Chain A
Amino acid sequence: MATAHSRSAARIMISPAVILLLGWMLIPLSMTLYFSFLRYNLLMPGTHDWAGFLNYRFFLTDPAFFAALKNTLILVGGVLAITIVGGVLLAILLDQPMWGQGIVRILVIAPFFVMPTVGALVWKNMFMNPVNGLFASLAKGIGMQPFDFLGEAPLASIILMVAWQWLPFATLILLTALQSLDSDQLEAAEMDGAGPLSRFFHIMLPHLARAITVVVLIQTIFLLSVFAEILVTTNGGPGYATTNITYLVYAQSLLQFDVGGGSAGGIVAVILANIVAIFLMRMIGKNLDI
C-alpha cells in the first residue's frame, strides 16, 4: 500500500516527531559533551576555559565516583534480584485458580502507581523511622530494640523501597507471559510424569526466559536513574553510602554548581546506560518484523 503520494505524506507526518526527538537528544547531549571539557562553574561566571579531560580525570578518580558506581551496581543488582525472584513466584501464585484473583492482582500492582516521592517518604517516616515507625513499634512490641534502618543499613533500605515499587512491574509482565503459556504443554508434561518442580524448570522457566530478559533490561534502564527516592530519604548519605551515579551528577552540578564536572559525570552515566540499552534494543528489534 505504498504510492509515491502516500510515501511523501508519511514522510511529512513523521517529521515533527523525528525533529523533536532529534533535537531533544542531540542538542543537550552535545552541550553536555562540550561542557564536560570545560572548566565551568556557575559560581564563577565568565570562566569557560578548555579543560581537556581534566573533568573526567577528577570525576573518575574521585572516591565518590567509586562509591557511587558500587552503590549503583548494588542498587540495580539488589532490586533486580528481589523483583525477578519475587516476580516469578508471585506470577506463578497469581496464575493459580483462586477466589478473588482480580482483587489480589489489583493489590499487588498498586505500588507501581505510587509516585516515587510518596513511596519513599511513607517508608522512611511511617515504617522505618526508629522512633515512631511501625517497624519500631513492632520491635518494641516483641521486646526488641528498634532498628534504625536508614542510619544503619541505608542502601539496603533504599533497595527495599525501590524493590517494593518495581515488584509489581515484574510480576505483571511475568504474569502476562505466563498466561500466554499453552496449558496443553503443562498438561502434556504432567501426563509424561513431570512433577511440579520439573514442570517449573523445564517448561515454565524457559517460557519465561524472554520476559525475564525484558524485565531485567527495562528495569535496569530505570534503576540506573533512581533519584527521587534518594533525594527525599537520605540525600545520598550518610557520607556517600546511598549516592548513586545519578545522584552524584545531580549533586555535583546543581548543588555544587560544577557544570564541567557534572557534565563529565553525565557522559559517564550515558555510556553506562548505553551498554545496557544495546542489549535491550537488540531484543526488541529482533521481535519487530516490518
Chain B
Amino acid sequence: MARNVTKNRKLAMTVLAWAIGILIFFPILWTILTSFKTEAEAIASPPSFLFFDWTLDNYREVQERSNYFRHFSNSVIISLGSTILGLAIAIPAAWSMAFVPGRRTKDVLMWMLSTKMLPPVGVLIPIYLIFRDTGLLDTLTGLTIVLMLINLPIIIWMLFTYFREIPGEILEAARMDGAGLKAEIIHVLTPMAVPGIASTLLLNIILAWNEAFWTLNLTAAKAAPLTAFIASYSSPEGLFYAKLSAASTMAIAPILILGWFSQKQLVRGLTFGAVK
C-alpha cells in the first residue's frame, strides 16, 4: 500500500516536472524547430509543430548573407582569449591568497569582488572614449581585454575557492622535495587543481560568450561577436523568423552544450562560494 502511494506520487511528480521543464525549454525548442522551416511555414497560422518540410536553407542563407562564421569566430576568440588571459593572471593571484593568506587577504578579495559590482554604465563613457582614442574600438583585442577585466574577479574567486580545498601540506611537501615556486605551481598545484581550473574556464567562456553590454557598445561591424550580430536582427529584417531562428540556434548551441556540463560549477562561481 505504502509502496503504491510512493509510486503514484513519483509518477505525478515526474509528469509535473517534465511539463514545467518542457514549458521553460519551449522557446528554445521552438527556435530550433523554426530554424528548419521555410519562412512561409515559420509564420503559418496555425503553426505546425513537427509536420513541415524540414530544410537547411536558412542555415546556408544566414552564412551566405551575413558571414555568420566570422561573427562566430569573433565570439570564440574573445571568449576563449579573455578567459585564458584571465586565468594566466588569476592563477598566481589565487595561489597567493589561498596559500599565503595575510592580514589583508580578505580585504583584497572583497575589494576584487566589489569591482564586479560596478555597473558597466558607470564607466561606459571613459572606456568608450579611451577605446576611440587608442583605436581599440571595434577590435577583438579591445573586447578581449574588457571581457577579461570584467570576469577577472569571478575567475580569481572561483580559483581561490578551489585552491583552498587543496591541503597546504602538499605544497609544503613539494617545497621540502626541492621544488622552487615555479615547479611547485606547474608540477603540483596546477595538475591538482585541473578540475577546478576547467570549471572556471568553462563558466567564464559562457559568461564571456553571452556578455551583451560591452560587446554591443564597443563593436560596430568588424569585431562584432554573435551577441551583436543577433542584435542586428532587431531591425525589420528580423521578421524573417526562420533565418532569425537559424542564426539564434547557431549562436546558442555551443554554449548550451558547454553550460549543461558546468551546471554544478555555475552555482559556486556565480555565488562566490556563498552557496556550495
- Genuine A/B complex: yes
Give A contacts to B, CB under 8 Å.
1-2, 6-7, 9-11, 13-14, 16-18, 20-21, 24-25, 27-29, 31-32, 35, 90, 93-94, 96-101, 103-119, 121-127, 132, 134, 136-137, 140-141, 164, 167-169, 172-173, 176-177, 180, 210-211, 214, 218, 221, 224-225, 227-228, 231-233, 245-246, 249-250, 253-254, 259, 262-263, 265-267, 269-270, 272-274, 276-277, 280-281, 283-285, 287-288, 290
- The complex places the Cα of A20 from the Cα of B260 at a distance, in Å, of 32
Does B72 reach chain A (CB closer than 8 Å)? no
- The complex places the Cα of A98 from the Cα of B14 at a distance, in Å, of 5
Q: In the complex, which residues of chain B have a beta carbon less than 8 angstroms from the beta carbon of A111? A: 24-25, 27-28
By secondary structure, the B interface counts as helix
- Is the pair A227, B213 in contact by a Cβ cutoff of 8 Å? yes
Give B contacts to A, CB under 8 Å.
6, 9-10, 13-14, 16-18, 20-22, 24-25, 27-28, 30-31, 34, 43, 45-47, 89-90, 92-93, 95-97, 99-102, 105-106, 108-130, 149, 152-153, 156, 168, 171-172, 181, 206, 209-210, 212-213, 216-217, 226-228, 230-231, 233-234, 238-239, 241, 244-245, 248, 251-252, 255-256, 258-260, 263-264, 266-267, 270-276
Given contacts A13-B95, A24-B149, A115-B212, whether A121 and B244 have CB atoms under 8 Å apart is yes
- Is the pair B252, A118 in contact by a Cβ cutoff of 8 Å? yes
Q: In the complex, which residues of chain A have a beta carbon less than 8 angstroms from the beta carbon of B124? A: 249-250, 253-254, 262, 266
- Is the pair A21, B231 in contact by a Cβ cutoff of 8 Å? no
Cross-interface CB contact of B241 among A109, A125, A227, cutoff 8 Å: A125
- Is the pair B270, A218 in contact by a Cβ cutoff of 8 Å? yes
Cross-interface CB contact of A2 among B100, B128, B255, cutoff 8 Å: B100
Given contacts A97-B10, A109-B263, whether A17 and B89 have CB atoms under 8 Å apart is yes
Cross-interface CB contact of B10 among A35, A98, A122, A164, cutoff 8 Å: A98
Given contacts A225-B213, A228-B231, whether A16 and B46 have CB atoms under 8 Å apart is no
Given contacts A10-B100, A100-B14, A140-B45, whether A277 and B121 have CB atoms under 8 Å apart is no
CB distance from B39 to the nearest CB of A (A): 10
- Is the pair A126, B241 in contact by a Cβ cutoff of 8 Å? yes
Cross-interface CB contact of B46 among A116, A137, A254, A273, cutoff 8 Å: A137
Cross-interface CB contact of B152 among A17, A35, A98, A126, cutoff 8 Å: A17
Given contacts A114-B28, A285-B106, whether A10 and B96 have CB atoms under 8 Å apart is yes
Q: In the complex, which residues of chain B have a beta carbon less than 8 angstroms from the beta carbon of A287? A: 273-274
CB distance from B164 to the nearest CB of A (A): 9
Q: Can you list 24 A-B pairs with a CB-CB distance of less than 8 A?
A: A17-B93, A18-B93, A21-B153, A25-B115, A25-B118, A31-B129, A98-B10, A106-B263, A107-B21, A109-B259, A113-B252, A116-B227, A118-B248, A118-B251, A121-B230, A121-B233, A121-B248, A127-B30, A167-B24, A246-B121, A250-B121, A266-B123, A270-B118, A274-B117
A106-B263, A115-B227, A126-B30 known; 7 other A-B pairs, CB under 8 Å? A14-B93, A110-B24, A114-B252, A176-B275, A254-B124, A281-B117, A290-B109
- Is the pair B113, A284 in contact by a Cβ cutoff of 8 Å? yes
- The complex places the Cα of A263 from the Cα of B27 at a distance, in Å, of 37
- The complex places the Cα of A246 from the Cα of B263 at a distance, in Å, of 29
Point out which of A111, A180, A281, A288 has the most chain B C-beta atoms below 10 A from its C-beta: A288
- Is the pair A172, B119 in contact by a Cβ cutoff of 8 Å? no
Q: Which residue of A lies closest to B164 (CB)?
A: A290
Given contacts A32-B123, A245-B121, A266-B125, whether A98 and B17 have CB atoms under 8 Å apart is yes
- Is the pair B216, A228 in contact by a Cβ cutoff of 8 Å? yes
- Is the pair B209, A269 in contact by a Cβ cutoff of 8 Å? no
- Is the pair A96, B17 in contact by a Cβ cutoff of 8 Å? yes
- Is the pair B18, A100 in contact by a Cβ cutoff of 8 Å? yes
- The complex places the Cα of A113 from the Cα of B202 at a distance, in Å, of 12
